[in-house]
Amino acid sequence: MNEKVLASQPQNDRLSRENGRGCSRAEFLQRVRGALAVPGELDSAGEARRDLSLVRLVGGDADCVGLFIERATAGGLCVHRVKPNDLMKVVVQMLSACGARRVAVSVPGRVGQSLREWLAPRGVAIVSIEIDGSLDAQYDADVGITDCDAGLAESGTIVLRGDAERSRGTFIVPPIHLAILRESQILPDMLDYWPTLSDCDGIASGRDGSVHGVTNRVRKVPTSIVMISGPSKTADIEGILITGVHGPREVHVVLVDDR
Amino acid sequence: MSGSRVLTPDLPFDMSPRADVAGRDVKLQQFVNSATQIKDHGRVNACRAAFGDRYDAVRKLAGEIKQHTLDHLDVYLDRFIDNATASGALVHFAADAAQANAIVLGIAREIDAKLCVKSKSMVTEETGLLAALEAIGVKTIETDLGEFILQLDHDAPSHIVTPMIHKDRTAVARAFVRELGAPYTEDPAELTRIARDHMRRQFRSADMGISGANFLVADTGSLVICTNEGNADLVVASPRVHVAVVGIEKVISSLEHLSVFLKLLARSATAQPMTVYNTIITGPRKPDDLDGPQQVHIVLVDNGRTEILREETRELLRCIRCGACLNACPVYRKVGGGHAYGAVYSGPIGAVITPLFKGLENYPDLPQASSLCGACFEACPVYINIPAQLIRLRRLLVERKLMPGTTRVAYRLWAMTLRRPWMYRASAAFQRIVLRQLSTSSEVEDRAGVNDRVSENGRDMVSSAWCAKLPGPLRAWTLSRDMPVPPSGSFREWWANRDRGSDASRRAGRP
């Protein structure tokens, strides 16, 4: 069993051992097993089925859009509801209201395309986010525009992902963040978000899979998921709340009524 | 005192000098008192508002989930390592602090790092990573605003969540003038902007980012990092290499379970429904990803955790570092925050895990730094019975003869007296006589009316006078509080008289 385990990470173990820096995976796990003394029977499948309804804060029958707006606003997000046809107009208005000259855009697909078409003739430059994988260009942007993966009514949270079409810097580097969210994307509770990530077979189900013959179903996740519940905040100096310490001081959610 | 020495004092550590100094610092008392009370009330309100009557059941559930993971930590760690490796991250294993630092220094050398940006990681405080990096010439900037200010001011954090709970704005203003050449201002917004501008330049040119992690998700091999400032999001995305230094107890099984902890963490720590940025990172930049670091290293650290993993103390590893027990603790408030605990982890949880990490003989005062009021247990979102663990350590202090000799003699005498009724009566009578003797002296303040109560038969049973100054070793008690003067008779005498008295009145009242 240990041979199998070790084989999955030969490169790392070699790395650690050769440089005499850390210990090997086998040694490390042996320390843990030693401390556990007599490990009890592991019911991994039972653990996966554990009833979490106790922590559910919003049910499916709630007014999720209303709750989302109320709680996002309480957390410091500015929510703007728009009709689908007004989306571009409103975004352009908001950009000119804050005097944006340069924007970073992490919005794929049709909406991203129309954004580019609307912004170019209005003297708003779009900084290139597709350079050498660094966030450098976005440090000069006035506003970052992103789409969202979901909204959570429970806490007024927007969920963003970083992937092939979405930068991991657009929501955090520019001083103002503008996120486009569709009402149909709003889910009642965080518990409802995970099933929206597609399932894939366990990449490595470890000892559990072989012992119990249960294939461990795991979620296929993007490199980065960020759940945002307000503007960047700190209260480190005498407990006084200040926004925009590292990330944006303003976060606007343009909520598109697509229902 | 330099910042690092505050949390790594000479051992064995003596808590009382620091507690004494803090006890006399009125300003510090006010700060820590109001900051912790506001947070404590906020936590109760936020948790009750969200979970209502279910709150205790939710805390138990969260505790059970984490306990299950710890009970099978070998399996879940194994699974995490497999999935993190499959996502492209490089996982390293550090048995102790020296190995953890050596691994990170090795990575820094390999990638030829010059400038490193760092978000909060309690483990790196344990290992003293910053000093080690500085020693090989890698400049490292703490980016959490509080930690950044402490780093500038060569000071040490005094709270897990709000590290500069002991500092006011003038200290920040002076540090910024001195270290950053900024114009003097006491405006928190302006001070924050100065820090932002300074750190932005560092983020932009940093080649290595170091973070901790709040959770490790076994099923997906993900790191979960929670910050309100968003500094971790820059740390993990801006530099080309990201190194996460994480304790093994952070593993949970699935993303579903993560919801339980994210819902509790922010409410317990800062009374927010959700931390502003909850970031879930799975591996380095993929071939078709737009950006992100080229390498993600995860350094799994033991450094004493497998000792605590033993059955009798395992529950302590459920801790999610929310700081709720610090805010709830009357002792933490009174000793002026975390510095009095002389270690990385302070407050009630620190009073238990520090002796376990560093040796009970090195921190014999910490298990005593509690009134056992139970507020920490009530505040804990993962239902850790801290008072029971404190009592366990106190028992070990006695068993290992780590109590001071005078205390041991005193308790032996006490036990001897309690076993012999005649001795008890005699010593109580002696105490009454001596203390009442003192109460007639000029050192006694008469505070009549404070405690006056008259028993049925007219005898004054509760004293109205106080001894302000006792002789000999008892002086320590009266230095900070007065001793009430005992009544002339003992409780036993009073009880006997009372029975007779009431029998008499019953006989008189009823034919």
Task: List chain A residues with CB under 8 Å of B40.
Answer: none
Reply yes or no: is the peptide bond before residue B163 cis, omega within 30 of 0. no
Domain parsing of chain A, residue ranges: 61-190+225-256
- Whether the CB of A174 is below 8 Å from some CB of chain B: the reply is no
Cβ-based neighbours of B314, under 8 Å, separated by 6 or more: B67, B70, B71, B308
Neighbours of B219 (CB within 10 A): 25
Sign, Cα dihedral of B421, B422, B425, B430: negative
Residue A226's identity, in one-letter code, is V
Residues of chain B with pLDDT > 90, as a percent, come to 76
**Residue B347 confidence (pLDDT) above 90:** yes
State the pLDDT at residue A156.
98
State the pLDDT at residue B199.
95
- Whether the CB of B299 is below 8 Å from some CB of chain A: the reply is yes
Say which DSSP state A102 is in.
E
Contact A16/B86, CB-based, under 8 Å?
no
Provide block-wise average pLDDT over 10 residues at a time, chain A (259 residues): 41 52 93 85 81 95 97 98 96 94 95 93 87 82 97 98 93 97 98 85 39 48 96 93 96 96
- Whether the CB of A130 is below 8 Å from some CB of chain B: the reply is yes
The 3-class secondary structure across A24-65, one letter per residue, is CHHHHHHHHHHHHCCCCCCCHHHHHCCCCHHHCCCCCCCCHH
First-last CA distance in chain A: 53
Contact A35/B280, CB-based, under 8 Å?
no
Q: How far is A10 from chain B (nearest CA, A)?
A: 11
The region of weakest confidence among B237-251, B267-281, B378-392, B468-482 is: B468-482
Please state the pTM of the whole predicted model. Answer: 0.89
A186-238 pLDDT per residue, tens: 999 999 999 999 765 444 333 333 333 334 456 689 999 999 999 999 999 98
- Whether the CB of A97 is below 8 Å from some CB of chain B: the reply is no
Question: Is the Cβ–Cβ distance between A58 and B51 less than 8 Å?
Answer: no
**For domain A61-190+225-256, which CATH number applies: 3.40.225.10, 3.40.30.10, 3.90.1150.10, 3.40.50.10420?**
3.40.50.10420
Q: How far is B132 from chain A (nearest CA, A)?
A: 14
- Whether the CB of A125 is below 8 Å from some CB of chain B: the reply is no
Cβ-based neighbours of B192, under 8 Å, separated by 6 or more: A234, A237, A242, A244, A245, B145
State the pLDDT at residue B454.
44
Q: How far is A212 from chain B (nearest CA, A)?
A: 13
B104-137 pLDDT per residue, tens: 999 999 999 999 999 999 999 999 999 999 999 9
Q: Write down the mean pLDDT value for chain B.
A: 90
- Whether the CB of A239 is below 8 Å from some CB of chain B: the reply is yes
Query: CA torsion, points B216, B81, B93, B74, in degrees to nearest 10?
Result: 80
State the pLDDT at residue A48.
80
Distance CA A138, CA A174 (A): 7
Q: Grade residue B93 by pLDDT with cuts at 50, 70 and 90.
A: very high
Q: Tell me which residue of A201, A85, A185, A223 sits closest to B288, measured CA to CA.
A: A223
**CA gyration radius for chain B?**
28
B220-275 pLDDT per residue, tens: 999 999 999 999 999 999 999 999 999 999 999 999 999 999 999 999 999 999 99
Q: Grade residue B161 by pLDDT with cuts at 50, 70 and 90.
A: confident
Question: Is the Cβ–Cβ distance between B444 and B438 less than 8 Å?
Answer: yes
Contact B291/A129, CB-based, under 8 Å?
yes
Contact B259/A191, CB-based, under 8 Å?
yes
Distance CA B344, CA B174 (A): 25
Q: Grade residue B505 by pLDDT with cuts at 50, 70 and 90.
A: low
The shortest CB-CB distance from A221 to any of B99, B277, B280 is to: B280
Note the ipTM here: 0.90
State the pLDDT at residue B473.
75
State the pLDDT at residue A7.
40
Q: How far is A84 from chain B (nearest CA, A)?
A: 28
**CA gyration radius for chain A?**
23
State the pLDDT at residue B496.
84
Of residues B379 and B508, the one with the higher pLDDT is: B379
Contact A135/B106, CB-based, under 8 Å?
no
State the pLDDT at residue A80.
97
Query: CA torsion, points A140, A142, A147, A148, in degrees to nearest 10?
Result: 90
B269-316 pLDDT per residue, tens: 999 999 999 999 999 999 999 999 999 999 999 999 999 999 999 999
Distance CA B503, CA B493 (A): 15
State the pLDDT at residue B506.
54
- Whether the CB of A228 is below 8 Å from some CB of chain B: the reply is yes
For residue B329 the two structure tokens come to: 């603790």
